[in-house]
Structure 1
Amino acid sequence: MITPVILCGGSGTRLWPLSRKSYPKQFSSLVGDDSPFIATCRRLSGPDFDAPVVMTNADFRFLVTDQLAQLGLADARILIEPASRNTAPAILTAALSLADTPDALMLVAPSDHLIGDEAGFRAAVEKGAEAARSGQLVTFGITPTRAETGYGYLELADSPDNGNSQSVRKFVEKPELPRAEEMLAAGNYLWNAGIFLFRVRDILAAFEAKAPDLFAPCKAAWEAASPDLGFFRLGEEAYAEARDVSIDYAVMEKSDNITAVPYGGGWSDLGAWDAILDALHKDESGNATYGSATAVHCENTLLRSEDKGMQLVGLGLKDTIAVAMRDAVLVANLDDAQRVKDVVTILKQRDIPQAVDFPRFHRPWGWYETLCIDTRFQVKRIMVKPGGILSLQSHMHRSEHWVVVAGTARVTVGEEVKLLSENQSVYIPLGAVHRMENPGKVPMYLIEVQTGTYLGEDDIIRYEDVYARA
């Protein structure tokens, strides 16, 4: 069986404002109903696959468990990286976590790719497994369909032959357009998809030989890993010592046992809005709309509205991206899709919260979003999952009024515990110890009105918390 290792720590800044640091693209529904993370986990599950290892960070741990639960993958091993250190330390640490099964195959995949032909991809994995069992480090390359400057390339020893595996001559950085056109014409280049397959023993040996400086900190981080609510937190001090480097630079480009398996089906890294437009169904004028969006006399344009109450209309647009959310709107020329990350950099420099914060804040018990805020009051909508329990807490600077609008809430205020159903409410005085939970089998929604001199999220004193945040 193959153990999937799913890399799930990126922030996807080129898909702002939908993708932000607090809720990146791999968890959003970019194309279709499933998030890329869910689609990746589903693709790498079944009789040929063992439970996955997911590499993520602390901010995303409950998002990961929520979406894994939708697939019934409760036995996944979730490793929490205390700092972002690129793909080499993440993959090495995942391999160390599997070191007790040295002959096992591990399939490393990003969590945010679109695979159009899943049967073709599985066939490619089967071919790659044959090479990996013989000691090869396998990388999967995408058959190029255009002279693309946004991807790295794999130069093969010969032109691909019926999808069979071939030796990799060298890795090529993202090229300028003339060079990309030359490589497309040459016929012996593949796009580098960043998907790998190898035995645990072989990748560990490769790291020891080609990147020995990474071995000690990653091994120490794994040995210091501590369980936390079903996660494994890697040792923070040790992991911080690991060099920030990709697996291509650290190992693959230095090794002579690299085999590439071509995959010719539909593929996208969903890295920017132009890639999203390519992946979506389009009308006869090349337009794609999503949500409450309408295109009128437009051409080759993406219109996406993430708010049901906001109607986005494009009139006479050409080669345009327009993405509207409740708290931010992006309008850009399609040719500038790769430069959206520059917008995020500028907004961060100006301390604009929309640069990193998503309008809906996800928590282990559910989520909340601010509907209205002013100097002395704030109105929130809160969703609590079935069985979700907020911490037992109090506030020093605000009082709250809760109105249940769907489902049932069990509310604790001081010594009193009571059930509230739809259209019932409760007042939480300033300083009162309180808690809300959802004892039902359907999501519970309520409207919270806060009033006070300070409304920040850090005005919380926690006394008990089932998610170990107290």
Structure 2
Amino acid sequence: MKNLILSGGSGTRLWPLSRRLLPKQYLKLFNGKSLFQMTIERNFKFCRSFLIISNEDQYFLANDQMEENLSLNQKNVSFILEPFGRNTAGAIAFGAFDSDENEILFVTPSDHLIKNENKYIEAIKKGRDLAEEGYLVTFGITPDSPNTGYGYIQAKSEINEKSGILNVELFHEKPDLDTAISYLDQNSKFTTQHPTLFLWNSGMFMFKAGIYLEELKTHAPEVYESSKKAYENSKKINGNQKRILDTFMEKIPDISVDYAVMEKSKNIKVILSEFEWNDVGSFDSLIKEVETNREKIVEIDGEENFLYSDNNKKVISTIGLKDFVVVDTKDALLIAKKGETQKVKDLVNKLKKTEISILDAHTVVHRPWGTYEVLIDEKNYKIKRIVVKPGKRLSLQKHFHRNEHWIVVSGTAEVQVGEKVYLVRPNESTYIKMGEVHRLGNPGKIPVVLIEAQVGEYTGEDDIVRIEDDFYRGN
């Protein structure tokens, strides 16, 4: 069985913790682990290989986090990289085209939290048996509240059916509160005489690759044909990567697997899943799982607040707050009432009109070669702290609007300017003129840390012309 992991996402619902270049699945909020890492570890025991469908800007995050667990190197791991998202129907098609037609695909999001492993494994075994029989299998979660943030599956059991395998009647979009309450009310009346249940749609699926493609071709032929053409014209890189080209990606209809296949197929079963499940889709759901640093929080007349800072040294103090969510990062502060945090997505849409850069990245930005942190950003100059990992180097590049001064703090940097290559050691500096072709690398065994001072009329990140790049990025 192959675990097909959908790992895209734009990081809107948990902003400002989550950003476009660091979405929620890569945030290490759970005892030093990320949801992505926990997904891999959870499925490691029964999947022979992993295929990760990722945005090309986030690939190195997934790769780095997998490398942190050396045992994962024993598994066959590959990537299909998308230039931008076109929803799940096409993404899953890529995985199916990349697999043998009889391979069972276990399709999972990368950003869900699951507990009670024995119940999880029990559900997976049931799903695998049904997938072998040729069914499309989905996994439904019994609701414990009238949640309006999830889609629902309307399922029906056979008379005297006790296996936990149900027939799917309908898929329902995220309901309003009254409708969600009515679903739970109907669940409370569940008997053999009234065998209908409403379950949360977990977004997890299992089926043979060939079966999925047959259903997709039948019910969504445009998605099938455009995804097939995009996959066949993908660019293979480094043995375990395939990159989908922009011109083919944009022709794939933007449609979910639920709309394209699941709502139309007559070949579906749903597993009544009893494991604990949380899609961590809002701060209201996150706060049930994450503990804050209580030593740095001081409250007067405060009740049931979630107060979080990414700076463990910062003291948070409140007076008279009740049922509030306060999330503090270096460059943004969110204050919201509990029960209202689903609206963070609407807030992000407002910010897109004025503060687009704050949605893309934190002040510390992760790159395939390391990180950089913006320390000062003013008109005509910017100062960064750059860390280059051992054995890595930045692209060979040039800038049209800025000069750069590099001062090495630790490690030994290898600098190329034009045809000249030289070493820069701690407490030494070098200067890159505007328009000069240059490159920064780390040939050593420890990280290179340096301070970069940019001076010029424009210091934006898009003033980079890449001439050559180890990570196959464009400009």
Q: Report the TM-score, using the length of structure 2 for normalisation.
A: 0.89
Partner of 2:79: 78
What amino acid is aligned across from residue 34 of structure 2 in structure 1? S
Name structure 1 gaps, 5 residues minimum.
282-288
User: 1:406, CA displacement in angstroms?
Assistant: 3.4
1:142–1:190 CA contact under 8 A, matched in 2: yes
Q: Counterparts of 1:221 and 1:176 in 2: how far apart (Å)?
A: 37
- 1:222 maps to what in 2? 231
Letter in 2 for 1:335: G
The reply to whether residue 60 of structure 1 matches residue 69 of structure 2 is no
Q: CA deviation at 1:402?
A: 2.2
Q: What are the superposed Cα offsets for residues 88-146 of structure 1, whole Å, 9 maximum, x if unpaired?
A: 11112211111xx2211100011110112233212210111111111111101112212
Name 1:132's counterpart in structure 2: 131
- Indicate the percent of aligned positions where both proteins have the same amino acid: 41
* Contact 2:298–2:315 (CA under 8 A) maintained in structure 1: no
CA contact (8 A) 1:292 1:308 kept: no
Contact 1:4 1:51 in 2 (8 A): yes
RMSD: 2.4
Does the residue aligned with 1:251 lie in a helix, a strand or coil?
A: helix
1:123 aligns with 2:137: no
Instruction: Tell me: CA distance 1:210–1:464, structure 2 relative to 1, closer, same or farther (3 Å).
Output: closer
CA contact (8 A) 1:21 1:357 kept: yes
Assess, with a 3 A threshold, how the Cα gap between structure 1 residues 112 and 240 changes in structure 2: closer, same or farther: same
SS in 2 for 1:14: coil
Find the aligned partners of 1:149 and 1:436 in 2 and give their Cα distance.
Answer: 49
- State the AA in 2 paired with 1:221: A
Question: What is the distance in 1 between the residues matched to 2:395 and 2:152?
Answer: 49
Distance 2:34 2:367 in 1: 18
Amino acid at match of 1:407: G
Distance in 1, matches of 2:243 and 2:273, equals 35
Shift of 1:218: 1.0
- Whole-Å separation in 2 of the counterparts to 1:404 and 1:122: 51
Aligned counterpart in structure 1 of residue 267 of structure 2, from 257, 276, 279: 257
Q: Which stretch has the larger CA shift, 225-234 or 331-340?
A: 225-234
CA contact (8 A) 1:292 1:312 kept: no
Distance 1:416 1:291, change over 3 A: farther
Q: How far apart are the structure 2 equivalents of 1:161 and 1:256?
A: 19
Letter in 1 for 2:48: D
The question of 1:204 aligning with 2:213 is answered yes
SS at match of 1:299: coil
- Post-superposition shift, 1:77? 1.9
**Structure 2 gap segments, 5+ residues each:** 188-196
Q: Give 1:87 deviation, angstroms.
A: 1.0
Whichever residue aligns with residue 96 of structure 2, its letter is A
1:72-221 → structure 2 map (5 Å cutoff)? 72=70, 73=72, 75-98=76-99, 101-158=100-157, 164-187=164-187, 188-221=197-230
Q: Distance in 1 between matches of 2:438 and 2:31?
A: 40
TM-score by length of 1: 0.90
Q: Tell me, in whole angstroms, the C-alpha distance in 1 between the residues paired with 2:316 and 2:221.
A: 53
Instruction: Provide the residue aligned with 2:193 in structure 1.
Output: none
Q: For structure 1, which segment, 121-130 or 31-40, has the greater mean C-alpha deviation from structure 2 after superposition?
A: 31-40
Q: Deviations over 1:334-380 (max 9, x none)?
A: 12100011111111112442133432222221121211022222110
Partner SS, residue 322 of structure 1 = strand
- Structure 1 segments, 4+ long, off by >6 Å, are 159-163
| 2:286 counterpart SS class | helix
CA contact (8 A) 2:296 2:312 kept: no
CA distance in 2, matches of 1:432, 1:177: 60
Distance 1:377 1:146, change over 3 A: same
How big is each residue's C-alpha offset from its partner over 1:13-50, in whole Å with a ceiling of 9 and x where there is no partner?
Answer: 1111111223211111233311111211222223x212
Query: What CA distance in whole angstroms lies between the structure 1 residues aligned with 2:101 and 2:276?
Result: 33
Letter in 2 for 1:6: I
Shift of 1:417: 4.0
Q: Check the 8 A contact 1:56/1:81 in 2, yes or no.
A: yes
Does the 8 Å contact 1:295/1:303 carry over to 2?
no
Letter in 1 for 2:225: A
Question: 1:12 and 1:451, CA in 2 relative to 1: closer, same or farther beyond 3 A?
Answer: closer
Q: Is 2:299 the counterpart of 1:296?
A: yes
Kept after mapping to 2: 8 A contact 1:291/1:308? no
Q: How many residues align?
A: 459
How far is 1:235 from its partner? 4.1
- Paired residue for 1:325, among 329, 332, 340? 329
Kindly indicate whether the alpha-carbon contact (under 8 Å) linking 1:149 and 1:177 is maintained by their aligned counterparts in 2. yes
- Separation in structure 2 between the aligned mates of residue 384 and residue 359 of structure 1, nearest angstrom: 16
Q: What one-letter code is carried by the residue in structure 1 that aligns with 2:77?
A: A
CA contact (8 A) 2:296 2:313 kept: no
Q: Is residue 108–residue 196 contact of structure 1 (8 Å, CA) maintained in 2?
A: yes
Residue 365 of structure 2 is aligned to residue 387 of structure 1:
no
SS at match of 1:52: strand
